[in-house]
Amino acid sequence: MKTIRVVAALIADPRDPSRFLVQQRLPDKSRANLWEFPGGKVEPGETDEAALVRECQEELAVELRVGRRLWSTTHEYDDFTVQLELFAADIESGEPKPLGAQALRFCTPKEMQALPFCEADIPLLELLLSPSPFGRGLG
C-alpha cells in the first residue's frame, strides 16, 4: 500500500487562541466534504516545514511561520497509508482564503467534535480536548 507523508498546521485564531483554523475538503476530492487541519502532501526532497509553508500559500494565500512539531500519527485508509505530522504555526501575513477548500473556520476543539473530520485527525481532536495537550504551549 502506498504511504503519503502529510503535514498540517495548528493555527490559533489571533483574536481567540482557544480556536483553531480548520478547512472542509472539496466535494470532488478524496475524503470529500470532510474537515481537516490546513496542510498537504510533502513533495520529494522537501522538508516538512517547507511543504507546510508552500501548501498554506497555495491553499490559503497566507505566509506561515512554522513552529515546533506537536504531534504525529500513521493511519491506514483503504487506499493508502498517511503519515501525518502536525506543527504549531502562525500566520505572518495574509487573511486565510479557501482556495483549496470549500470552507474555512476557526473552531474550538469542542466545536470540532460536531464536524465530520478525516479519520486520521480523530485522535488529534480527542487530544485537543485535554488540558495542556502539548505540554509547554504551542510555540
Structural domain boundaries in the chain: 3-129
Rounded to whole angstroms, how far apart are CA atoms 99 and 68? Answer: 25
The set of residues, in sequence order, having a beta carbon less than 8 Å from that of 100 and lying 6+ positions away, is: 23, 26, 40, 55, 58, 59, 60
pLDDT confidence of residue 30: 87
pLDDT confidence of residue 59: 94
Going by pLDDT thresholds of 50, 70 and 90, the confidence category of residue 136 is: low
Answer whether residue 81 shows pLDDT above 80: yes
What is the residue-averaged pLDDT of the chain?
A: 94
Going by pLDDT thresholds of 50, 70 and 90, the confidence category of residue 69 is: very high
Class of CATH domain 3-129:
alpha beta
- Considering the entire predicted model, what is its pTM? 0.93
Phi, psi of 43 (to 5 degrees): -80, 155
